[in-house]
Amino acid sequence: MKLNRRTLTKSVAAGAILSPFYNLLQPKKAHAAAGKAKRLMIFHSQPCDTRTWNPKNVVSETNFSLPPMLAGLEPHKGNVILLDGLAPKQPGDGHFSPHAVTGVGREGRADKGIISIDQYIGDQLEKTPEKRPIKSLVLGSSAGSECVFYRNSARLTTIASPLSAFNTVFANVTTGPGTSPTELLTRRKSILDTIRADLNELKGAVGASEKQKLDLHLESIRQHELRIMDNASSGAACMKPAAPTDDLGSVAKKTLADMAHLDLIVNAFACDITRLGALQWGNSHTWQFDTPTGLRNELHMGIIHVQKDAEAVKIENWLSGQFARVIEKLKSIQEPDGSGNLFDNTLMIWTRDFGDADSHNSSSCKFVMAQGNGGYLKLSPTGRYIKGVSGNKRYERILLNCAEAMGVTNWDTFGDISADFKASKTPLSELKA
C-alpha cells in the first residue's frame, strides 16, 4: 500500500503524533525557526495618562521604582520590562486608528493587508508542526466595533461571552477536572502502541536519513512520557475548567467576564489548544468597569479627561493586578515536557491604543513585557525600564520582537511595507537576551 497523508490521518492518534512527519510525504514547505517562547499573550487596554504611568526614582535602567498605577507588578518585577519612547508612523492618530497591534495607522496599506501581530504569527505557525486547533484566541466583553485585532484590513470581532469562548476552546476536549498527568500519560502511551503498524510503514517509506529522524522523534516522545511520569505529582495537567456563565447584563458582569476570559486563555495554553491568546479591555473610546473590589466608573471621559488622577491610579493598578494574576497562574503550571513552567515559555505584552490618553498623542507609547527566566527577554532581578532605543523608534519594531520570540522571522508582509521603512524593519535588540 502506498503511504500518504490520507492514510495517516485515518487515525486521529497517528495524525497527532506523526504530524511533524507529514512533510516527508509531500513537497517541502518552509517552517518557522524555533523561538524562545511557545506562546504569546496580548493584554490590551485603553491608553493612560502618561503622568501617572512613568516610573519613579529612576537612577538607571535597572534602578527605579514602579509607579503606583503599576504596583500590582511588584511581586514579578524581576520578570518585567517597561518600555517607553516608541511611536507609530503617524503619532497624531487618535481614536479608532488601527495601529495598536498592527504596525499600521490611518495611512493604511494599498494592498488591504492590515493584519494584527497575533494573526500574522498564527498564519506562519499554521505552516509548521506548531499548528494548533485554534490559531488565535481573541476575547473581550466590550470591545464592540473597535476591536484592535485585524485581518485583511478589517477589524475582527472579539468573543464577548465567556461561555461562547469556553465552548470554542473546550467543546471537543474530553479531559475534565480531576484528570491526572498519569491518566493522560496512559492514554498517550496507548496511542503510541496502537499506531505501531503505521510507524513501521512510515519507516519503510522513507530513506535512511529520514528514518533516523523518525527514530529520534519516537525516542523524544518516549522521553517526553518519562518526564510526564516524573512530574505526575506537580499538577502539570490539561484541566478542562467548569463552564462559565453567559451573563453580560451589567457592567459588573462584563468585568467579571473579562477576568474569566483571562483564566480561559491560561487553560487553553495549558491544554496546548492555542499558542496565541489576547484580551481587550473595553475599546479606545470607553471602558466601563465595575470591579469586585468596588472600583466603578468609565475610564476615558469619566476619569482621564477630567484629570481624576487618584481614580486613574486605582483602576490602572487593578489592571496591573490582573496582568500579575495571569503571571501567577502561568507560573503555577508546569510544562509537561519538563521545560519549566508555562510562564517561562510565554511572552506577555501589555499594549495600548495610543500613548497619552489626555492629549490623544502617540509620540511616546507605553508597553509592559514579561516572561520567565531563560526566555526571549533580557531580564534583570530588579526589573528593566527602557526609555530610549537605538535606531528607528517606530513601535512596530516591538511587534516584530513578538514574532521573533515565537520563531517567526519573515515579517516582510507585516505592518508597514513601504520601501523607506524596510531597512529599519528589525526587532529591538534592547529587549533580547
What's the pLDDT score for residue 19? Answer: 47
Identify the band that residue 360 occupies on the pLDDT scale cut at 50, 70 and 90: confident
Burial environment of residue 174 by CB neighbours within 10 A (0 to 12, 13 to 18, 19 or more): exposed
Please choose, from the candidates 403, 422, 402, the residue with its C-alpha nearest in 3D space to the C-alpha of residue 412: 422
* Alpha helices per DSSP H over 289-379: 309-331
What are the pLDDT digits (tens) for 205-243? 777 666 666 666 565 555 444 444 433 333 345 778 889
Strands (E), 234-333: 276-280, 288-290, 296-298
Identify the band that residue 24 occupies on the pLDDT scale cut at 50, 70 and 90: very low
Contact indicator for 290, 296 with CB cutoff of 8 Å = yes
CA distance 206 to 220: 19
What are the pLDDT digits (tens) for 382-393? 999 999 899 999
Measuring CA to CA, how many Å separate 343 from each of 26, 54, 189, 323, 335?
36, 26, 27, 12, 9
For residues 89, 319, 79, 272, the Cα torsion angle rounded to the nearest 10 degrees is -90
* 8-17, 33-42, 250-259, 380-389: the lowest-pLDDT one: 8-17
Q: Which residue has the higher pLDDT, 50 or 149?
A: 149
* 47-56, 77-86, 194-203, 242-251: the lowest-pLDDT one: 194-203
Q: What region, left, alpha or beta, does residue 234 occupy, with left being phi > 0 and alpha being psi -120 to 50 degrees?
A: alpha
Please choose, from the candidates 116, 111, 112, the residue with its C-alpha nearest in 3D space to the C-alpha of residue 99: 116
**pTM here?**
0.80
Neighbours of 171 (CB within 10 A): 7
Q: With 60 as the cut, is the pLDDT of residue 180 above it?
A: no
Average of per-residue pLDDT across 343-362: 91
**Residue found under cell 517607553:** 84
Residue 54 neighbours by CB under 8 Å, 6+ apart:
67, 84
Q: With 50 as the cut, is the pLDDT of residue 66 above it?
A: yes
Q: Which residue has the higher pLDDT, 263 or 34?
A: 263
Q: With 50 as the cut, is the pLDDT of residue 33 above it?
A: no
What's the pLDDT score for residue 6? Answer: 44
Which helix (H) or strand (E) segment holds residue 188: the answer is helix 181-194
What are the pLDDT digits (tens) for 108-160? 998 989 999 999 999 999 999 888 999 999 999 999 889 999 999 999 999 99
* 23-37, 105-119, 419-433: the lowest-pLDDT one: 23-37
The average confidence (pLDDT) of the chain is 84
Cell numbers found for residue 346: 510565554
Most confident of 173-187, 273-287, 356-370: 273-287
Look at residue 95 and give its three-state secondary structure.
Answer: coil
